[in-house]
């Protein structure tokens, strides 16, 4: 069997769709390194399919009959990750009512996949380095050194070298993990694979929902492959499902597709600039910027009203003198967004009594643009939407599950 035939066979076996050169190279490296016991570091953006490569490595290795465990380091709270990985003795901490074996003990002879390794605390990184160097570990609350024979495959969606420079990741651990690097390309770098994946997902959802499959015309295909897909394969799959369920027609043209592509028609300038610079940004960052801008505008407006009031003017005079500003403010607040704030209108302004100016110039007690309060509100909404399932709430918020756990404790949120 040639290498190309072997790559094709592996892709079919593990459901990997695509023919891009970068993808095929990643599969080839995984095939070559699998029979060895070398540590592998898989890098790539979130949603690009890194876990599939860890399964390829385990299934083609001499450990294939041993246990395979996938662990998301970002989903385990910092206070319990040592216990999860290495186990603990009875009474070693509050709540440790009995001894427990960790993943490195129960997976002896198998493979552990450590996803989001960049989220691992520094103390745990030191323990992991000892396992990789000597195959030794110590349970929490114990002094006895235990041995294990486990192969580690790690994955990250962040630049670990930058994390090393910032002191957030151990340099010695980075080079120990990075024995064999595998780069999983993001969807935007895979060209025609986007169309192949979309067709596959469209067919799957056609069977699942018992509807005719959707098809993209040529213009829609071109537009689809131009979209950057920051969420990668996961985002493309969600897109195919939305269109399969919600679209009345089965022939999808460019205009129809654009309705389902997020931020395509009205991408905020902050996000556009960021995409041009190829940097990451979350919806939370955009929201914060909007809140700061609103706070600044309100402060300027209140200051202006107070000055006019002190000079003996009225609301009608304010509107007359600053008609252009109010018109522009009205357009911004009642544009493409659904936000519908109070807007001064000249005919209504005449009915407002001058003595109410003092109320306008003082911020209401219940009005708050505190970032902490808005963040807490977003977390509550995400938890409610996902029925208190932290994993999916964290995905909606664009943060790791461990970060969400910390925020829940910080804001004393009851689930």
Residue 353 has a pLDDT of 41
Domain residues for the domain of 226 are: 188-260
Q: How many domains does the chain have?
A: 4
Residue 389 has a pLDDT of 85
334 and 248 share one domain:
no
Rounded distance between C-alpha atoms, residue 235 and residue 24, angstroms: 22
User: What is the share, in percent, of the chain residues with pLDDT greater than 70?
Assistant: 74
Q: Is position 85 within any domain? A: yes
Q: Tokens at residue 117, please?
A: 């390794």
Point out the least confidently predicted range of 18-22, 199-203, 250-254, 311-315.
Answer: 311-315
Write the DSSP assignment of 311-350 as a string of letters.
Answer: TT--HHHHHHHTHHHHHHHHHHHTSSS--------HHHHT
Whether residue 338 has pLDDT greater than 50: no
pLDDT digits (tens, 9 = 90+) for 173-207: 999 999 999 999 999 999 999 999 999 999 999 99
Whether residue 391 has pLDDT greater than 70: yes
Q: Kindly indicate the confidence band of residue 324, based on its pLDDT and cuts at 50, 70 and 90.
A: low
193 and 181 share one domain:
no
Rounded distance between C-alpha atoms, residue 343 and residue 257, angstroms: 35
Q: Is position 64 within any domain? A: yes
pLDDT digits (tens, 9 = 90+) for 121-163: 999 999 999 999 999 999 999 999 999 999 999 999 999 999 9
Whether residue 172 has pLDDT greater than 90: yes
288 and 241 share one domain:
no
Q: Kindly indicate the confidence band of residue 382, based on its pLDDT and cuts at 50, 70 and 90.
A: confident
Q: Is position 275 within any domain? A: no
Q: Kindly indicate the confidence band of residue 223, based on its pLDDT and cuts at 50, 70 and 90.
A: very high
Rounded distance between C-alpha atoms, residue 1 and residue 147, angstroms: 39
102 and 172 share one domain:
yes
Higher pLDDT, 313 or 26: 26
Residue 318 has a pLDDT of 53
Q: Is position 274 within any domain? A: no
Assign residue 377 the CATH number of its domain. Answer: 1.10.10
Residue 342 has a pLDDT of 37
173 and 147 share one domain:
yes
75 and 154 share one domain:
yes
Among 103, 110, 106, 158, smallest CA distance to 127 is for: 103
43 and 181 share one domain:
yes
Assign residue 66 the CATH number of its domain. Answer: 3.40.50.300
Of the residues 162, 185, 208, which one is the last residue of a structural domain?
185
Rounded distance between C-alpha atoms, residue 376 and residue 2, angstroms: 56
Instruction: Classify residue 229 as left (phi > 0), alpha (psi -120 to 50) or beta.
Output: left
Q: Kindly indicate the confidence band of residue 400, based on its pLDDT and cuts at 50, 70 and 90.
A: confident
Q: Kindly indicate the confidence band of residue 40, based on its pLDDT and cuts at 50, 70 and 90.
A: very high
Residue 279 has a pLDDT of 41
Q: What are the counts of helices (DSSP H) followed by strands (DSSP E) for the chain?
A: 21, 11
Q: Is position 7 within any domain? A: yes
47 and 144 share one domain:
yes
CA distances from 160 to 4, 41, 181, 285, 412 (A): 31, 10, 12, 23, 32
Whether residue 357 has pLDDT greater than 80: no
Assign residue 218 the CATH number of its domain. Answer: 1.10.8.60
Tally of CA atoms within 13 A in the half-sphere of 203 that contains its CB: 6
Residue 300 has a pLDDT of 64
Q: Is position 267 within any domain? A: no
Mean pLDDT (whole number) for 263-276: 42
118 and 58 share one domain:
yes
Rounded distance between C-alpha atoms, residue 257 and residue 223, angstroms: 8
């Amino acid at each position: 069997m040639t290498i190309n035939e072997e790559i094709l066979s592996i892709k079919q076996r593990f459901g990997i769709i695509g023919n891009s050169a970068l993808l095929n190279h990643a599969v080839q490296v995984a095939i070559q390194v699998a029979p060895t016991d070398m540590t592998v570091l898989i890098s790539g953006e979130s949603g690009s399919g890194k876990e599939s490569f860890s399964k390829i490595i385990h299934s083609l290795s001499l450990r294939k009959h041993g246990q395979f465990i996938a662990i998301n380091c970002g989903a385990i709270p910092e206070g319990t990750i040592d216990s999860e990985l290495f186990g603990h003795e009875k009474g070693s901490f509050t709540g440790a009512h009995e001894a427990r074996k960790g993943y490195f003990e129960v997976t002896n002879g198998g493979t552990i996949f450590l996803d989001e390794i960049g989220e691992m605390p520094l103390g745990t990184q030191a323990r992991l380095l000892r396992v990789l160097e000597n195959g030794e570990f110590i349970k929490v609350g114990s002094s006895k050194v235990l041995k294990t024979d486990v192969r580690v495959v790690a994955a990250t969606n962040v630049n670990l070298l930058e994390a090393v420079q910032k002191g957030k990741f151990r340099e010695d651990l980075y080079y120990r993990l990075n024995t064999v690097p595998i780069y999983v390309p993001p969807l935007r770098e895979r060209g025609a694979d986007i169309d192949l994946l979309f067709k596959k997902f469209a067919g799957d959802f056609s069977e699942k929902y018992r509807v005719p499959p959707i098809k993209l015309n040529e213009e829609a295909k071109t537009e689809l492959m131009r979209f950057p897909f920051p969420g990668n394969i996961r985002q493309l799959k969600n897109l195919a499902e939305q269109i399969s369920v919600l679209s009345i027609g089965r022939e999808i043209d460019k205009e129809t597709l654009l309705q389902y592509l997020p931020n395509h028609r009205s991408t905020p300038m902050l996000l556009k600039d960021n995409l041009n610079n190829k940097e990451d940004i979350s919806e939370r960052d955009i929201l914060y910027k909007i809140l700061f801008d609103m706070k600044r505008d309100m402060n300027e407006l209140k200051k202006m009203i107070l000055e006019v009031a002190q000079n003996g003017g009225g609301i009608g005079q304010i509107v007359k003198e600053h008609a252009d500003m109010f018109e522009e403010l009205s357009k911004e607040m009642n544009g493409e967004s659904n936000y519908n704030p109070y807007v001064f209108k000249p005919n209504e302004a005449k009915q407002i009594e001058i003595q109410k100016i003092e109320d306008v110039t003082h911020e209401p007690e219940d009005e708050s643009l505190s970032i902490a309060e808005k963040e807490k509100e977003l977390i509550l909404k995400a938890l409610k939407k996902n029925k208190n399932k932290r994993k999916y709430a964290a995905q909606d918020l664009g943060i790791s599950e461990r970060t969400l756990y910390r925020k829940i404790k910080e804001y004393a949120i009851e689930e």
